[in-house]
Amino acid sequence: MSLLTCENLSLGYEGRVILENLSFSVNSGDYLCILGENGSGKSTLVKTILGLRQQAAGQVRFGDGLKQREIGYLPQQTDLMRDFPASVWEIVLSGCENRCGMRPFYNREEKERAENALEKLEIANLKKRSYRELSGGQQQRVLLARALCASERLLLLDEPVAGLDPDAAAQMYRVTWELNTRDKMTILMVSHDMVCLSYATHVLHFGAEVFFGTKSAYQREFLK
């Protein structure tokens, strides 16, 4: 069943349309890689799916009981984010914020979710560390653990390996693949790195023409 359907979307910003009539759907268990050059609309699509930017036309629909606020999101890292003065535990636990409702505190269940996310991402030993003191790969795992606290079904990852060394990037790909295959998480990954094709089931490519389809169909058409 489709968790996410985008139908005839037109996307842009500052009055400029950069994509028109975009349609695709994501089913439970998919691993979708979103590829394209800088400025092609990848991050604009992410922000539209999350409700952070309004589409110029078209619809974004969620299915199978999924709500927009239940999407786990790992944003692109900025220099300001890398220097954020909080502990790993504080950042990971903040992924449960939408679950609190009007409560000004986290309950036992939410704290257990954060503990489980730390264990799953193999960073429980970093719990008391300052986020700003971690390596780039460790910081990305912390942000991914935070995203896991927000969602049990759909993760949206915006350039999660950007700026990482090859070993850290390979570890991030391994972790996302395990979340998809072992834990049945649906993954949407924005990337400029073609390595992500090794893990994808489907591809959305922004170029001279937009392609959406299975990985094998994309490889036949673009990687001859």
What pLDDT band is residue 224 in, cutting at 50, 70 and 90?
low
What is the percentage of the chain residues whose pLDDT exceeds 70?
97
Mean pLDDT of the chain: 91
User: pTM value?
Assistant: 0.91
Cα–Cα dist 131/89, whole Å? 9
Nearest residue to 191 via CA among 199, 181, 183: 199
Nearest residue to 211 via CA among 53, 57, 219: 219
60, pLDDT greater than 90: yes
- Once rounded to an integer, what is the mean pLDDT over residues 190-204? 93
Report pLDDT for 39: 79
What pLDDT band is residue 5 in, cutting at 50, 70 and 90?
very high
Tens digit of each residue's pLDDT (9 = 90 or more) over 19-50? 889 999 999 999 999 998 887 889 889 999 99
Q: Position 28: which residue type?
A: S
Q: Are 132 and 80 within 8 A, CB to CB?
A: no
Report pLDDT for 82: 80
Cα–Cα dist 219/22, whole Å? 21
Cα–Cα dist 156/201, whole Å? 15
- Once rounded to an integer, what is the mean pLDDT over residues 57-62? 94
Our CA dihedral for 65, 68, 74, 75, rounded to 10 degrees, sits at 160
Give the DSSP letter of residue 77.
P
